[in-house]
Amino acid sequence: MKEELKKNLLIVNSYDRKDGDSNNFNYSLGDTSIDIEGISLKSATIPHTYTNVNSSNNILKYSKGTEIVLAHPYEGSIVINGFFKSYTFLGGIYTQQEFIEAFNNSSAGVGIVKLSYNSVAGRYELETISNVNSLEITQPIYNPSYRNLWNYLGFLSPTQLGVSVGDITQAPNPAQAPFDVNGIEYFEVSITEGQYDITTLMPEIATALSTNITGSISITINTVVQPIGYVVISGATETWKFEECELATMLGYIPKDMEYTISPQVAQGVPNMYGTHCLFVNSKTLMNGYNALQVGEKSSIISNIPVCSVYQGIDKYEAKYPIWKMYPQPININEFDIFITDDRGKIIDLKNANICLVFEILTTTRL
């Protein structure tokens, strides 16, 4: 008959660690060795010394350029060895590169003709990439009411293209709107790590944007006009927007909903400077079991700890309901590791401030 499991308390203070730092250490039970069948975090005391801008989220990502906005249908026909095909674009929003990729992936001339943009000449180019007998671009034939794609890309139609691999036909004219755009350029600029509020973060972001965006970049918070409390970035003399990054969301922006514009960029929400929302107590030694946080997979996580204090405060956690990490077979421990991570899986910097963790463990013997 299986012995009855008994609950015991295991108090781990990082001050008494065998080695390592207070956020990542090894702990020894000395001469004691125990078999455990389950473990649960009962309480924790962790100083809030980690900052809201750190090595895991201090890269500001943004881009500049212009998008191709197709509000009308465009069509350009191509005749390959006497067979007519068409490139048709009914509408949509593209970067220049996205449009070029859509063109080259079209079934019209795939494997025969390749479109590119010569930024030095400021012209689109058509390159023959397979040998053919005859190749010609012409006006729309399937829907003559559509705008002639070739003319808007700067080409004349009809135009005979080269029939040998490597032949390039450069548009004699610059592209017309909406295809007369600048290619999108992407940038990543690091922000100094530290604890920020909205007033100290805004000038850091303005400096980072000014590295690559022309104009006098200024960042303010609406206090009179609507939406009140929202960040506004203005002063750019070229179109730009944020790419997906946490610094942008701290200011209240949702990068996927932004557009390239020269106008003031108003955030989609209020600033969120809170930073890490949850800590996790981990152990590689004790990772083999399952708990309710892991949804059928094994990980090093023993328990989560909601962050409830401000910077330089102390997070004190008392589990109302135990979250047990259970093991298929008893684990014999004498020494084990503990490390504390944030909600991005990064080990937090406790600046060597000590923590105290109180575990309940299930054993067949009373300690």
Query: In this structure, is residue 296 part of a structural domain?
Result: yes
Q: Which domain holds residue 153?
A: 69-170
Check residue 367 and give its pLDDT.
57
Query: In this structure, is residue 158 part of a structural domain?
Result: yes
303 and 322, same structural domain?
A: yes
139 and 117, same structural domain?
A: yes
Check residue 292 and give its pLDDT.
62
280 and 232, same structural domain?
A: no
Whether 53 and 195 have beta carbons less than 8 Å apart is answered as yes
Burial (0-12, 13-18, 19+ Cβ within 10 Å), 290: middle
185/159 Cα distance (integer angstroms): 32
Query: In this structure, is residue 175 part of a structural domain?
Result: no
Q: What is the sign of the dihedral through the CA atoms of 324, 330, 334 and 340?
A: negative
Query: In this structure, is residue 32 part of a structural domain?
Result: yes
Backbone angles phi, psi at 223, to 5 degrees: -120, -15
Among the three residues 108, 141, 170, which one is the final residue of a domain in this structure? 170
257 and 231, same structural domain?
A: yes
Query: In this structure, is residue 150 part of a structural domain?
Result: yes
Which ranges of the chain would DSSP assign to H, the alpha helix?
Answer: 96-104, 149-152, 198-210, 246-250
212 and 303, same structural domain?
A: no
How far separated are the first and last CA of the chain, in Å rounded? Answer: 21
Check residue 1 and give its pLDDT.
40
282 and 262, same structural domain?
A: no
DSSP letter string, 305-354: EE--S-TTSEEEEE-SS---EEEEEEEEESEEEEEEE-TTSPBP--TT--
H and E: helices and strands count for the chain: 4, 26
162 and 83, same structural domain?
A: yes
For 315, residues 6+ apart whose C-beta sits below 8 A from its C-beta are 44, 45, 46, 47, 48, 279, 305, 306, 307, 308, 309
Query: In this structure, is residue 1 part of a structural domain?
Result: no
Whether 269 and 88 have beta carbons less than 8 Å apart is answered as no
Length of the chain: 367
pTM of the full structure: 0.75
51/312 Cα distance (integer angstroms): 9
Among the three residues 170, 201, 236, which one is the final residue of a domain in this structure? 170
List per-block mean pLDDT (blocks of 10 residues) for the chain, which spans 367 residues: 75 96 95 90 95 93 94 95 94 93 92 95 96 95 93 96 96 96 94 95 98 97 94 96 97 96 96 90 87 70 91 93 88 94 90 96 76
13/2 Cα distance (integer angstroms): 32
**Count of the separate structural domains present in the chain:** 3
Among the three residues 248, 266, 284, which one is the final residue of a domain in this structure? 266
Query: In this structure, is residue 177 part of a structural domain?
Result: no
298 and 215, same structural domain?
A: no
261 and 190, same structural domain?
A: yes
DSSP-derived 3-state class of residue 189: strand
188/80 Cα distance (integer angstroms): 44
- CATH code where residue 25 lies: 2.60.120
292 and 257, same structural domain?
A: no
Whether 59 and 190 have beta carbons less than 8 Å apart is answered as yes
**Taking Cα atoms as reference points, which of 147, 105, 150 lies closest to residue 126?**
150
295/285 Cα distance (integer angstroms): 20
Query: In this structure, is residue 217 part of a structural domain?
Result: yes
